[in-house]
Amino acid sequence: MTDQPVIAGFFPDPSICRVGDTYYLVNSSFEYLPGVPVHTSTDLVNWTQIGNALTRPEQVAEHDGYGSAGIFAPTIRHHEGTFWIIGTNVNDIPLGRGHFLIHAQDPAGPWSDPIYVPEAIGIDPDIVWNESGTAYVTWCSLNPAEPGIRSAPVDTTTGTLLAPAQQLWSGTGLSFPEGPHLYRIDGWWYLLLAEGGTERGHAVTIARARKIEGPYEAAPSNPILSHRSLPHPVQNTGHADLVQLADGNWAAVHLGVRPRGQTPGFHVNGRETFLVGVDWADGWPVVDDSRYTASSIDRTFEDRFDDALLNPRWLGVGRYPTSFTRPSPEAGLLVETEAGQGRALLCSRATDNVWTATTSFTADKGSGRFLLRLDDRHWYGLTYDGATVTAAVTIGPFEHTIGTWTPANGTAPVLRISAQTAQVLPHGVSLEPDLIELAASDTDGEHVFGAFDGRYLSTEVAGGFTGRVFGVEALTGEIHLHSVTYTPTHTVSDTTEPAA
């Protein structure tokens, strides 16, 4: 395996399908809206985001944006000319809705309103069709009375189960068997799982049966993929999905992280999407982690918000950006503090190890903030109220003001956040994964507030399933956003193609 992802940044729980010579991939999006990013590729290595599947309140209602809630582990499949996505909105579980099922003719959208599967309560659903065309939904049960991986035929027009659910397999005995995917291959039904938890013990296991209902026998070489206890720069490997290539060969996408800093290591950009080759031996898949090499892509962008539609990279926290932004008649974007659920933060994923992001906005009718966020309790940011720039860091319950600075009169400052290389101690160890520098500049020069430990914006400290995002929010009134730029300091070997 390359040590670089094919889709870098907070793009976890990948699921993939192929139509002809083109591949389509979706990921979890958790509290961020629009949800379920959709990427496409023709070579499995270079990917372009073509949209998001959940783009309107009829599909997912705006919500309070609780960290790492929202949309879990969707699966994408293509069947008889139609694309299908099945996923879980964990905010809906208390409402008894079960998994949601949407479909589209074009994976770029629009996608349909959801059909719910209320009898299937759990996470990480999969959908597959048997030889007679009956759809089966398979999921990780959250019902203690019915544990393990369960499956049942389903009516895709109503969400009604057509027979009682049956338990298929509980995995190899590792913790948290989840992320099931079923495949019909050479007369066998194969059930692929994630086990061991999505931390350092993460692993991919597989079993097979002659009938979809089982019984399932485990592969003798399980786990077929794991980096647990190995000195590999990519860790937490798991939650895979198989795909057959047009030439008959096989591959798999899976999630992983790139931890840095002193033990236990800190991953900051989230769980990312990686790619491996797959061979078959004695009827079982064998992972070839050296088959693919991620190509070099520069993900630099500058957005001046000249288009009527926002680029699909832009997200809100439990809110759709269209609910709190609108084009300005004078170019740029107006960002408002209009009341509503969630957090009206216009944000995008950080995708590189070392990078710089800047923004410029005027605050004649309010105040705004430029920040780097892991969740609402872990962020570093710069606030501008039309007169003064204030730097602050928030770590858990503590919000600390670093300092203030006044730009030249009449000048809207450029605010800068940079993820920089960590300090290396004399014995060659970096304590932190990186340093986050906060700065602001005007026509007279730049004021640097300082560089702060990146560990506190990592999952190992804050918990959860997401990664860093950076963005702009209005704190009071309305701000006029002129631009946001993102520039990797060093182009790394990954392959997320920047959107135009």
Question: Which residues have a catalytic role annotated?
Answer: 13, 178
Q: How many CB atoms lie within 10 A of CB 337?
A: 17
Q: Which two tokens stand for residue 451?
A: 């560089």
Q: H-helix or E-strand containing 460?
A: helix 459-462
Residues paired with 484 in a beta bridge: 303, 359
Phi, psi of 279 (to 5 degrees): -110, 170
- Residue 402 CA to residue 405 CA, distance in Å, equals 10
- Residue 412 CA to residue 205 CA, distance in Å, equals 55
Contacts of 299 (CB under 8 A, 6+ apart): 8, 351, 352, 486, 488, 496, 498
Residue with tokens 């960002």: 335
Three-point CA angle 260, 45, 244, nearest 5°: 115
Burial 290-326 (b: 16+ CB within 10 A, else e): ebbebeebebebebebeeeebebbbbbbbbbbebbbe
Question: Contact at 8 Å (CB) between 358 and 491?
Answer: no
3-state secondary structure of 260: strand
- Residue 251 CA to residue 273 CA, distance in Å, equals 13
Q: Which of 135, 220, 207 is CA-nearest to residue 167?
A: 207
Q: H-helix or E-strand containing 53?
A: strand 47-54
One-letter amino acid for residue 40 of the chain? T
Pairing of strands 149-154, 122-129: unpaired
- Residue 377 CA to residue 315 CA, distance in Å, equals 18
Q: Which two tokens stand for residue 16?
A: 């993939």
- Residue 193 CA to residue 182 CA, distance in Å, equals 9
Question: Contact at 8 Å (CB) between 451 and 436?
Answer: yes
